[in-house]
A and B are shown apart, each in its own frame.
Chain A
Amino acid sequence: MTLLARRVIQGLVIVFLVATLTFALVRLAPGDPVAAMSPTRSLTEETREQLRRNLGLDRPITTQYLAYVSHVMRGDLGTSFIQNRPVWHAIRDRIPETILLALVALLIDYALGVFLGVVQGTRPKSRLDDLLSVTTLTIYSMPVFWLGIILVLVFAYGLGWLPSTGAVDPAVYDSLPLAGKFGDRARHLLLPAATLGLVGAAATARYQRAAMLDVIHQDYVRTARAKGLDERVIRVRHMLRNALLPIITLFGLSFPVLLSGTVLVEPVFGWPGMGRLAAESAAGRDYPVVTGIAIVGALMVVLGNMLADLLYRVIDPRTRAAA
């Protein structure tokens, strides 16, 4: 079996297990879904029975479980109580915004994080290294939504450079030419993406610094120096390329953190993505939407890990031979 096929099957198993877990949580929770759907309790007993039957709650638990899992595997995540439409449709509308935000955040995260880590790792224990270490630790320790609020306060209200909320300016967006539309989107994207990206970059820089320090004393670096290679070539070709390997592992691990971050950052910026939908649905007790987003989120994490695997094989030829 090829590695890709094995990875796909592993991913499907994980999604299946995630669906099992959400099913178990829903069944363990107190109260009855019918009561959750109609908190006003004005339903007659007859209507309740009808609803229960429609939801399949009168069937044995094993039947319910099998039905649920087979629905999830086919992409049917149930119906939203609040929006009164399929959960998948509610999520589908929000996914592009979250992916856009996450991708730009990742770009800032790794570009800035790797750069800072290399700067620090090639000058260990210098004053610049110490200063950057304190800075990254501080940013890493900030609640991401709090950092977002501060950036809004400074760059939107204080300096007035960037908009504070939304993905576009609804008043003018439709009348803008294509380039103007792009600019409007970019201006709205910058603050939320920078918020997520900065916290990520702080973590990445700490890892990258440690990875650089690990390779700095390796024999091949000394050999390269002995050969009289240019210091810049040594840094990029010999040190950075080897020090990037642990960072790719980190890249695979950063997807769950990133998605958790969107849950907190999107509400601050009124960003119309999946994270804000999850936060609002949880507050409104609309659990089919929240479990649906958890399953979709897990799927994204699985895909992200596959991407990291692929990158690993591109950068490290040894893993290609081993596969």
Chain B
Amino acid sequence: MMRALKHVARSTRGRVGFALVGFLVVVVAGTSFVSPHDPVAQLDLDRLQIQAPSMAHLFGTDHLSRDVLSRVLYGARISLTIALLSVLLSATIGTGVGIAAGLVGKTLDAVVMRAVDAALAIPRMLLLLVVFALWGHVDVLGLVTVFALTSWFGTSRIVRAEVLSLRQRDFVTAAHALGLSRRRLVLHHLLPNLAAPVIVTATLGVGQIVLMEAGLSYLGLGIADPTPTLGRIIEEGYHHMLDAPWISLFPGLIIVLIVIGFSLIGDALHDSLNPRSS
């Protein structure tokens, strides 16, 4: 794993990816210090409505005289927090389910994998809409739960396939022959070999969840008002597209940077962990 990371750090893609994500994480972690204004404060409804970007307001102000830069920073912080937590959870669930399906027995495997097939057949956005039509608005923790519970299907399939192929390998047969407990087999022999594909999928998953969260909040679903989320800022700007295009422009650019960063890291990791494809 360390070797892989070094390899990633030497590739251009890996470097650019780490630089982008590192920069964004630092800025976002320091939002409270960096952010010039309160993201929901209406600074001056008479004089500061819809101001184009300037030195005073780098990203301009919106129709309610709020500072767009501050809103985007807070939005990015929420997006990244949600995405990272969701991916951590969904990777864990997916790995657990995949190992169980590949290891325990044929019946469980068949039942779980058919259910995963069905879940993968529902377009993810439609599945999320079903959840929000039924539950209404949720808080950050609720949204993380929803994303985690709807994002593990792909991981479980990859892990299961990997477990099935690992089972044929000599070191697993040897472990069986030595009478190792199933727990020890999973922890010491399977998990280290599963880490690579799971980490690659998870890294690429971060960007996907950032995009989905933005989409949901664009549609007015997800986290309730007035929390500034990137999708909601874009939606607000949509109504002022002609007189204030900067409101929608900046949050979109931040999303693009986040997704590019994680994609580059994911791709570089993928290449260094599968030397054949590089």
By a beta-carbon cutoff of 8 Å, the part of chain A in contact with chain B is 13-14, 17-18, 20-22, 25-26, 28-30, 137-138, 140-146, 149-150, 152-153, 157, 210, 255-261, 263-264, 267-268, 278-279, 281-283, 285-287, 290-291, 293-294, 297-298, 301-302
Q: Is B29's beta carbon under 8 Å from chain A?
A: no
Q: Which residues of A contact B18 (CB under 8 A)?
A: none
Chain A residue at minimum C-beta to C-beta distance from B124: A260
Q: Which residues of B contact A142 (CB under 8 A)?
A: 252, 255-256, 259
Q: Which residues of A contact B255 (CB under 8 A)?
A: 141-143, 146
Known: A149-B238, A293-B126. A141 touches B135 (CB 8 A): no
State the Cβ distance, A10 to closest chain B Cβ, in Å. 8
Output the residue of B115, B120, B130, B220 with the most chain A CB within 10 A. B130
Interface contacts beyond A294-B129, A301-B123: sample of 20 additional A-B pairs, CB < 8 Å, sorted by A = A13-B114, A17-B114, A18-B118, A21-B118, A137-B260, A140-B263, A141-B263, A142-B256, A143-B218, A145-B218, A146-B234, A146-B255, A150-B252, A153-B241, A282-B130, A282-B133, A291-B130, A294-B127, A297-B123, A298-B122
A261 to B134, CA, bound (A): 21
Q: Which residues of A contact B219 (CB under 8 A)?
A: 263-264, 267, 279, 282-283
Chain A residue at minimum C-beta to C-beta distance from B125: A260
In the complex, the answer to whether B234 meets A283 with C-beta atoms within 8 Å is no
By a beta-carbon cutoff of 8 Å, the part of chain B in contact with chain A is 114-115, 117-127, 129-136, 207, 211, 214-215, 218-221, 231, 234, 237-238, 241-242, 245, 248-249, 252, 255-256, 259-260, 263-264, 277
Residue in A29, A140, A256 whose CB lies within 8 Å of B121: A256
Query: Can you pick out 12 interface pairs between chain A and chain B where the beta carbons lie within 8 Å of each other?
Result: A17-B115, A21-B122, A137-B263, A141-B260, A150-B249, A153-B245, A255-B123, A263-B123, A263-B215, A267-B219, A283-B220, A298-B121
Q: Which residues of B contact A14 (CB under 8 A)?
A: 114, 117-118, 121
State the Cβ distance, B151 to closest chain A Cβ, in Å. 13
Give 9 closest A-B pairs by Cβ, nearest first. Answer: A17-B118, A260-B125, A141-B259, A29-B134, A146-B252, A259-B123, A282-B129, A287-B133, A290-B133
Chain A residue at minimum C-beta to C-beta distance from B242: A157
A36 to B249, CA, bound (A): 37
State the Cβ distance, B259 to closest chain A Cβ, in Å. 4
Q: Which residues of A contact B122 (CB under 8 A)?
A: 18, 21, 256, 294, 297-298, 301
In the complex, the answer to whether B135 meets A29 with C-beta atoms within 8 Å is yes
Chain B at the A interface: SS class? helix
State the Cβ distance, A153 to closest chain B Cβ, in Å. 6
A264 to B248, CA, bound (A): 15
Q: Which residues of A contact B207 (CB under 8 A)?
A: 141
In the complex, the answer to whether B221 meets A282 with C-beta atoms within 8 Å is yes
Q: Which residues of B contact A260 (CB under 8 A)?
A: 123-126
Q: Which residues of B contact A146 (CB under 8 A)?
A: 214, 234, 248, 252, 255
Q: Which residues of B contact A302 (CB under 8 A)?
A: 121
In the complex, the answer to whether A290 meets B117 with C-beta atoms within 8 Å is no
Q: Which residues of A contact B215 (CB under 8 A)?
A: 143-145, 263-264
In the complex, the answer to whether B245 meets A143 with C-beta atoms within 8 Å is no
